[in-house]
Amino acid sequence: MHTMLTIAQADPRPMYLQIKEQIRHRVAVGDWRVGEEIPSIRALAAALQVSVITIKRAYLELEHEGVIVTRQGKGSFVADGADLPTKIQEQELEAHLEAACRTAQLLGLTTEELVARLRKTDKTERGKTKRASSSTPA
The pLDDT tens digits for 75-115 are 999 998 757 777 777 878 888 888 899 999 999 989 898 88
Instruction: Please list the alpha-helical segments (H only) found in 39-80.
Output: 41-48, 52-64
Q: How much is the average pLDDT of 55-72?
A: 94
Whether this prediction's pTM lies above 0.75 is answered by: no
Per-residue CA distances from 120 to 98, 104, 131 (Å): 19, 15, 17
Residue 84: DSSP 8-state = H
pLDDT band for 41, please (50, 70, 90 cuts).
Answer: very high
Let me know the angle formed at the C-alpha of 3 by 31 and 51, rounded to the nearest 5 degrees: 130
pLDDT at 129: 65
